[in-house]
A and B are shown apart, each in its own frame.
Chain A
Amino acid sequence: MIQEIVINGLINGSIYALLAIGFSLIFGVARVVNIAHTALYMAASYFIYLGFDYLGMSSLLAALISILLTVALGLVCYQLFIKPIREHESAVLIATIALAMVIQEIFLLAFGGNYLGVPPLATGYFMLAGVKIANQHLLVLGAAFLALIGTWFLLMKTRIGLGIRCTAQDREVANLMGINVNREIMAALGISVGMAAVAGAIVAPLSVIDPHMWLHPLTMMLAIVVLGGLGSIKGSFISSYILGFTEAVVVFALPMGAFLKGPIALSIMILVLLIRPEGLFGVSFEEER
């Protein structure tokens, strides 16, 4: 039973980590609470469906193209709808909710409310310590670690990363220092949406695609980001696994209460926040006192 909990916790955690890191990044850099983040994750799954079922692409090609398309969609949406009102925090919030609704409705209109499926990139399963893991889930594990290492490398070792970090710390000073703040935000957004798209491309094949699929991971993603500390990528990563493991433990220890896995994970988040209001790895921003 221990090995099942460990492996399932890892899988759950990795799926969440892919979503939460991207969300956390864009919040850290642009202070945008992007509710539409998971809607873009959904968009990626639909693009794969479109490419595979309608245009007859191979599943790998469809996945790659869908990731690119989703990133483009994210950037366009930001330029059109979010940038003009970035100074109004509450308006940005609603705009992202409305944006998510627009994306949902467009897919509902185009594909109907049916549950759809896309083919996995890898079929079959793999035995590890007596536990079956679908090969697709191994991909999820790999992608989560790659994404983490990739973003860490990008943020810490490259010039773009330096710019993003500067912008995250103090946008105005960064601007004064000659950093093109808008370009840095676009770069961060590209990475963030890209990760959501990767998640959509590798998680969706094991699940179902429907126009409301973005709502389910949304609350968990928000909980993870808050638990880890807003804007802290390390925090998001670690708390993804905390909540992922919590869910797995709930399923195994309380099979009758498997539906409670969400509420229990959220309760843990609230308990942690009571002790540490800034989350596990959050820093309290002075300007936000």
Chain B
Amino acid sequence: MGFIWFYIRKIFTLFKCEVLVLPSRVALLVFVVALLLIPAFTQDPYLLWVLILTAIFSIFAASWDLLSGFTGQVNFGHALFFGVAAYTSGLINVYAKVPNFLSIPLAAIAGVLTGLIVGIPCLRLRGTYLALTTLAFPIILTGLIFALPEVTGGELGISGLDRLSTSRVYDYYITVVLMLVLTTIMWKITDSKTGILLHAIREDELAVRAGGINTTRYKLLAFCLSGFFAGIAGGLYAHIMRTVGPSTLEVALSFQVIIWSVFGGIVSIYGPVAGVFILFPLAEFLRILPKVRMLVFAVLVLLTLIYMPEGLIPWIRNKIEKECPRCKVRSIATRKTCRICAASLD
């Protein structure tokens, strides 16, 4: 009995000393709890629908950050992974009647393969060359889709996919929980040894290579991982929309994901997620100004960038929290001394 009590107390202490002391962690906690509790308070189908799409696009944006933010392989055609995965799950679900709990993982595998196919030729390209080359892939694939209307349905796409689940609330929980789990995994990846290597490649590829590390393999790994997560997002999207069309490959979608991510703050995983959770519902909210909706949206993004070029979330985080110059641990900005080593924070 005392044994269990010990653990409960330990968890409570951890919670008090590691979560409650940092505003960012409190905010994260509130966010997760709120997200999970929303259906208990309102089952408004419109709200849930918007949040479902937001969750899907969060996975998508985080996967972009994994590849382009962390590894520095700026991808201008990220919609390729999304579209390939969406079409894969569409095709196998409609023609081969593969149920959705299999078609979404298969879509993710298709995303990985796409990552390989695109990654290998792109390994030799860097920076802006890479960015502008990746832009071309979804356009080429769209051409193919239009050239084979018997299989792909041309501009109309494939329709009649299975539902994700039987009700909107279940859909909501599936996508939101998946979003939370997958973004946590991505976040953990960036924190692991592999993640640090990926980050190092972004900073100085030559130095990493000189350190005896096969950077090619790691870059390819980044493409595949990113393709995997984007693939899950694409598969989920296909089953939520129940129609897969060429709009999943549009340049606009590729740009949209970059806007979300950079707005939220790249190289953080949580930044892009927050970016989507702010901007996607914002675009919906701006329906109250129908004519100037997109204008206000674009101007907001532009202004945010001028004042916070690092992105919104890192900017806020730096305002409310300070990093200790000695032990690199974060403390709330109101403190004068570090919460761990008591060094002065100013």
Contacts and interface: CB of A to CB of B under 8 A. Distances in A.
Interface stretch (B25-33, B129-137, B171-179): B129-137
A106 B137 CA distance: 30
Contacts of B305: 81, 85, 91, 94-95, 98
A87 B305 CA distance: 12
B295 A105 contact: yes
Contacts of A263: 139-140, 142-144
Contacts of B135: 219, 222-223
Given A94-B262, A263-B143, A289-B205, A223 B295 contact: no
Interface in A92-142: 93-95, 97-99, 101-102, 104-106, 108-109
Interface stretch (B104-112, B119-127, B232-240, B327-335): B119-127
A273 B131 contact: no
Interface hub of A91, A94, A223, A262 (most chain B Cβ within 10 A): A94
A267 B259 CA distance: 26
B298 interface: yes
Contacts of A84: 306, 309
A270 interface: yes
Contacts of B131: 33
A273 B121 CA distance: 9
A157 B266 CA distance: 43
A279 interface: yes
B298 A102 contact: yes
Main secondary structure, interface of B, reads: helix
Contact of A98 (B137, B259, B291): B259
Main secondary structure, interface of A, reads: helix
B132 A222 contact: yes
Given A90-B262, A94-B258, A277 B301 contact: no
Interface in B262-315: 262-263, 266, 291-292, 294-295, 297-299, 301-302, 305-306, 309-310
Interface hub of A27, A102, A106, A259 (most chain B Cβ within 10 A): A102
Contact of A85 (B206, B258, B306): B306
Given A98-B298, A109-B291, A219-B251, A88 B125 contact: no
A18 interface: no
B128 interface: yes
A81 B125 contact: no
Contacts of A274: 121, 124
Nearest to A225: B132
A181 interface: no
Contacts of B297: 101
B146 interface: yes
26 contacts: A33-B131, A33-B132, A90-B74, A91-B310, A94-B262, A95-B305, A97-B259, A98-B305, A105-B294, A109-B291, A222-B135, A223-B135, A223-B136, A226-B128, A230-B128, A257-B147, A260-B143, A260-B146, A260-B147, A266-B136, A267-B136, A270-B121, A270-B140, A273-B124, A279-B129, A289-B126
Given A109-B292, A260-B143, 13 more contacts: A81-B302, A81-B305, A87-B309, A90-B262, A91-B262, A94-B305, A101-B297, A109-B295, A222-B135, A259-B143, A273-B121, A273-B129, A282-B129
Q: Which 3 A-B pairs have the closest CB atoms?
A: A263-B143, A105-B295, A101-B298
